[in-house]
Amino acid sequence: MGFRTRQIHAGVTPDPITGSILTPIYQSTTYVQPSVDEYLSKGFTYSRSGNPTVKALEAKLTDLEGGVDCACFGTGMSAVLATMLAFLEAGKHAIVSDVAYGGTYRLSTKILSRFGIEYTFADTSNPDDVAASVRNNTALVLTETPANPTMKCSDIAAISEIAQKAGAVHAVDNTFLTPYFQRPFELGADISIHSTTKYMDGHNATVGGAVISNSQEHADAVRFIQNSTGTIMSPQVAWLTLQGCKTLSVRMDAQSASAMAIAEFLEAHPKVEQVAYPGLKSFAQHELSSRQASGYGAMLWFEVKGGLAAGKKLMDNIELWSLAENLGSVESLITHPVTMTHADVEPEERARVGIIDGLVRASVGLEDTEDLIQALADALDQV
């Protein structure tokens, strides 16, 4: 069945007792067992180890990504952590995209490095750089494509091949495009990671994460971490995310179309120095983006002429767009990564990977395109 049908129906069947068309919110810690001998016969014992509402979301995401299993987590960061803990240990090495989300960078350099895990931050937009970073203890390659906030894309198929040769797991953070536009497993990846906070929920209502595996072996490893560390998703969050997923494709289509129009508007605007949006012909990896994804998503960045000062002026004056962290919601958001999402990344590292001081990140929402453009035009007028 098609994606739009599956985003609505996958994982959810009417409640057999009442007929409730939606999966109930099982806000319950524990499950009464029919007898000692039938322990676990109904599938649930304790909500850290499994919860029927969360399970429904896991089934839906598994289906949408075309994987084998999915484990949901309390946040996208927990999903990244679980992936690292599942496939790394002291003495092992991971290659992580040098433009990964700031939180991923912080987790790697400030926390897991203390436990003897080695990291190389590679320019994953260049497969050769990934290949050159491979060591004999490399166990995980983590890419993010398009990357946050630079929009740099990584060639999933090429890197999957490198990882496979190295005997490493290739995990792709697929948050920006979602399986509606990009399906990493079809390109050879092993793991797909999501911050469900973003497009899956879509309404700024929850924080959550998910790790979808393409093999039972990987799935078991992630599930083991999910249960052992207990960084689980709550049933309320799962339920709200289940509702959000039902409109994923229509939101993605509409928000991406808006993003394209906005990118074109900005590119033509005399006060804008540069725009990065994979859909633009001027985008360095436009060809790769078109090849490995069926859409360009709704994230972009631009630099106002006049650098940081001008960018700040725009963000402080813009209306309709909210100056806020998060992305992927129906509300349009505008962010200054240097002072907000990526403040923890050292200035030299930021400069190296292309997070310039004047970079303004835009998460295009579901408002009318003309209203969003008008708001940008008005704010640019004030710069």
Q: How far is the CB of 54 from other proteins (least distance, A)?
A: 12
Known catalytic residue at 119: no
CA angle 10/13/19 to nearest 5° reads 155
Q: Between 216 and 236, name the residue whose CB sits nearer to other proteins.
A: 236
Peptide bond into 149 cis (omega under 30): yes
Q: How far is the CB of 367 from other proteins (least distance, A)?
A: 27
Q: Under rule CB under 8 A, how many of the chain's residues touch other proteins?
A: 25
- The answer to the question of residue 43 lying near other proteins (CB under 8 A) is yes
52-71: contacts with other proteins (CB under 8 A):
52
Q: How far is the CB of 51 from other proteins (least distance, A)?
A: 9
- The residue within the footprint of other proteins, chosen from 9, 22, 110, 165 (CB under 8 A), is 22
CA angle 104/204/86 to nearest 5° reads 30
Q: Are 66 and 186 in contact (CB under 8 A)?
A: yes
Q: Between 246 and 271, name the residue whose CB sits nearer to other proteins.
A: 246
- Taking the C-alpha atoms of residue 178 and residue 208, their distance in angstroms, rounded to an integer, is 14
Q: Between 48 and 269, name the residue whose CB sits nearer to other proteins.
A: 48
Burial, 53: exposed, middle or buried (Cβ in 10 Å; 0-12, 13-18, 19+)?
A: buried
- The residue within the footprint of other proteins, chosen from 11, 26, 103, 372 (CB under 8 A), is 26
Q: How far is the CB of 30 from other proteins (least distance, A)?
A: 5
Known catalytic residue at 361: no
Residues in the chain: 383
- The answer to the question of residue 9 lying near other proteins (CB under 8 A) is no
Which among 12-20, 196-204, 296-304, 351-359 is the span making contact with other proteins, rule CB under 8 A? 12-20
Q: How far is the CB of 5 from other proteins (least distance, A)?
A: 17
Which among 14-22, 114-122, 149-157, 300-308 is the span making contact with other proteins, rule CB under 8 A? 14-22
- Taking the C-alpha atoms of residue 103 and residue 106, their distance in angstroms, rounded to an integer, is 5
Q: Between 1 and 32, name the residue whose CB sits nearer to other proteins.
A: 32
- The answer to the question of residue 5 lying near other proteins (CB under 8 A) is no
- The residue within the footprint of other proteins, chosen from 2, 5, 16, 90 (CB under 8 A), is 16
Catalytic residue among 26, 101, 199, 277: 101
Across the beta sheet with 169-173, the strand order is 69-73, 209-213, 191-195, 169-173, 138-144, 93-97, 118-122
Known catalytic residue at 277: no
- The answer to the question of residue 28 lying near other proteins (CB under 8 A) is yes
Q: Between 36 and 90, name the residue whose CB sits nearer to other proteins.
A: 36
Catalytic residue among 55, 60, 152, 198: 198
Tokens matching residue 370: 């003309």
What residues are paired with 69 via a beta bridge?
213
Q: Between 29 and 136, name the residue whose CB sits nearer to other proteins.
A: 29
DSSP 317-351: H-SSSEE-S--SSSS-EEE-TTTTTTTTS-HHHHH
- Taking the C-alpha atoms of residue 136 and residue 139, their distance in angstroms, rounded to an integer, is 9
Tokens matching residue 307: 């650098």
Q: How far is the CB of 43 from other proteins (least distance, A)?
A: 6
Catalytic residue among 6, 48, 271, 313: 48
- The answer to the question of residue 39 lying near other proteins (CB under 8 A) is no
| Residue window 221-250: x/- pattern of binding to other proteins, with contact defined by CB under 8 A | ------------------x-----------
- The residue within the footprint of other proteins, chosen from 1, 2, 5, 21 (CB under 8 A), is 21
CA angle 343/348/350 to nearest 5° reads 50
Write the CB contacts of 368 (distance below 8 Å, at least 6 apart in sequence): none
Known catalytic residue at 152: no
**How far, in Å, are 52, 151, 241 from residue 236 at the CA level?**
11, 32, 9
- At 297, give phi and psi (nearest 5°): 80, -175
Element housing 173 (H / E): strand 169-173
* Residue ranges in contact with other proteins by CB under 8 A: 14-22, 24-34, 42-44, 52, 239
**Which amino acids are annotated catalytic?**
48, 101, 173, 198
